[in-house]
């Protein structure tokens, strides 16, 4: 019988992050953290115009 952790790893650890959006104050510091701590890489960036709605 396989170890329960190995079975969990085979089933749940094969995933793909399709869409993520992060709003941050310090972009360089945040990118550095996500790359070094989590091993994530930026693959695309879309610049957006800031929009403020007043009521």
Retrieve residue 11's tokens.
């089933």
Please give the angle made by the CA atoms of 41, 47 and 48, to the nearest 5 degrees: 135
Give the global pTM: 0.49
Query: What is the three-state SS of 38-52?
Result: HCCCCCCCCCCCCCC
Domain carrying residue 39: 19-55
Q: Is residue 10 part of a domain?
A: no
End-to-end CA distance of the chain: 62
Q: How many domains would you assign to the chain?
A: 1
Q: In angstroms, what CA-CA distances link 52 with 22, 23, 31, 49, 55?
A: 18, 15, 25, 10, 10
Q: Is residue 13 part of a domain?
A: no
Q: Is residue 1 part of a domain?
A: no
Question: pLDDT by residue for the chain (55 residues), tens digit each?
Answer: 556 666 666 666 666 777 777 788 898 999 999 899 988 888 888 887 777 778 7
């Amino acid at each position: 019988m396989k170890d329960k952790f190995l079975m969990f790893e085979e089933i749940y650890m094969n995933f793909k992050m399709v869409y993520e959006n992060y709003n941050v104050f310090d972009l360089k510091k945040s990118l550095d953290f996500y790359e070094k701590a989590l091993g994530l890489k930026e693959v695309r960036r879309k610049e957006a115009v800031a929009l403020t709605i007043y009521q």
